[in-house]
């Protein structure tokens, strides 16, 4: 009797173990945090294994010095200049110092160079086939919310490429964000000016925009143009900044020697990029007004495509979006 009962129990155990093993083998891989390194008293480096991106992603997370319970989340996206596992918001934007006394958790993804933080349609020789939208809107938020005690209220903002992506992501996943900000971005990508802005940005990485959203004028471009998805932005707090490309005091370098010709070339490119961002932002602002969507208009008459201006504008952007959180 005992032996029979033991054999029956073992048979049940084997069936249960077999079922669990099969279920585990058949389950889709899930994004998960593999490491958290406390680098300073307000900055952590968080490594996330992402099935969507097919690799481990480094995400910087800023928390205030005084922790007072759950906090809202602000996602800050870099421009196309940030490379590797670095964040220009930390290197040049002064984000860590600025947010050290703010009651918010700030998330800074790295490694999106030349991708527009979107899901690409086809593999590109330069950047592969990244799936950043999936990572940022589906994989990362629940991990951050759980690990860093979130209130569930979120905002997203970025500079240049990241500014455009912030509005696109908010229009495609409107349930995630209460506020959106663009600094020197070009949200309306399916316009001729927007297309030129996107292509010029991707050319820095050697990437082809046709691999990202398909040929210009196709559904892929329209689907990622927030100007064509304005109803999804209704009710959100919106912020737009751009300079006009005109040189300000920070751009003028006195006593420039002939050996500093490269500086002049970089300055000219920075001015040209900001002219494009200025025109795009004004166009988008007009579309927002026509649709009856209020926004903070921080478009300026001077300023180039440079971190001096974005770091300076960070406080203005935060004052605009923080009430929504």
- Torsion sign, CA atoms 169, 132, 111, 75: positive
Greater model confidence, 8 or 239: 239
264 pLDDT above the threshold of 60: no
The four Cα atoms 148, 150, 156, 161 give a dihedral, to 10 degrees, of 20
C-alpha–C-alpha distance, residues 306 and 242, integer Å: 11
Decide if pLDDT at 254 tops 60: no
pLDDT 10s digits, 190-203: 888 899 889 988 98
pLDDT tens string 272-282 = 778 888 899 99
Nearest residue to 123 (alpha-carbon basis) of 51, 195, 208, 199 = 208
| 2-324 classified as CATH 3.40.50.1820 | yes
Enclosing H/E stretch for 55? strand 55-62
What is the C-alpha separation between 227 and 141, in angstroms, rounded?
Answer: 25
**Could you state, in order of their start, the residue ranges of all structural domains in the chain?**
2-324
Model-wide pTM > 0.85: yes
Q: What is the DSSP letter of 137?
A: I
Q: Are 181 and 321 in contact (CB under 8 A)?
A: yes
Please tell me the least confidently modeled range out of 92-101, 204-213, 216-225, 269-278.
269-278
Query: Could you give the percent of the chain with pLDDT greater than 90?
Result: 69
Question: Residue 39: which residues within 8 A CB-CB, separation 6 or more?
Answer: 45
CA dist., res. 189 & res. 201, Å (int): 12
User: Which whole number is the average pLDDT over 227-235?
Assistant: 98
* 90-145 residue pLDDT tens: 999 999 999 999 999 999 999 999 999 999 999 999 999 999 999 999 999 999 99
Task: Answer whether 138's CB lies under 8 Å from 96's CB.
Answer: no
């Amino acid at each position: 009797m005992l032996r029979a009962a033991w054999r029956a129990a073992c048979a049940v155990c084997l069936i249960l173990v077999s079922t669990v093993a099969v279920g585990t083998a058949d389950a889709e891989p899930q994004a998960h945090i593999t490491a958290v390194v406390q680098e300073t008293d307000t900055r952590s480096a968080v490594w996330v294994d992402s099935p969507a991106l097919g690799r481990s992603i480094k995400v910087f997370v800023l928390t205030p010095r005084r922790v007072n319970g759950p906090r809202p989340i602000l996602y800050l996206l870099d421009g196309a200049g940030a490379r590797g596992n670095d964040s220009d918001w930390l290197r040049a934007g002064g984000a860590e110092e600025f947010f050290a006394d703010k009651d918010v958790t700030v998330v800074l993804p790295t490694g999106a160079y030349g991708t527009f933080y979107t899901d690409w349609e086809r593999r590109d020789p330069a950047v592969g086939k990244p799936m950043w939208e999936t990572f940022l809107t589906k994989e990362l938020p629940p991990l951050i919310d759980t690990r860093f005690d979130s209130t569930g209220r979120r905002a997203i903002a970025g500079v240049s490429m990241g500014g455009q992506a912030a509005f696109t992501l908010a229009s495609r996943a409107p349930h995630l964000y209460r506020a959106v900000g663009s600094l020197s971005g070009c949200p309306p990508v399916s316009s001729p000016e927007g297309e030129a802005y996107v292509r010029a940005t991707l050319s820095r990485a050697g990437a082809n925009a046709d691999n990202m959203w398909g040929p210009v004028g196709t559904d892929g471009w329209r689907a990622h143009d927030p100007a064509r998805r304005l109803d999804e932005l209704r009710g959100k707090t919106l912020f737009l900044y751009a300079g006009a490309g005109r040189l300000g005091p920070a751009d003028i370098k006195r006593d420039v020697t002939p050996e500093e010709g490269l500086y002049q070339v970089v300055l000219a490119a920075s001015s040209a990029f900001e002219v494009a961002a200025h025109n795009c932002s004004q166009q988008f602002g007009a579309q927002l007004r026509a649709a009856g969507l209020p926004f903070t208009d921080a478009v300026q008459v001077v300023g180039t495509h440079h971190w001096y201006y974005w770091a300076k504008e960070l406080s203005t952007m935060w004052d605009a979006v923080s009430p929504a959180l």
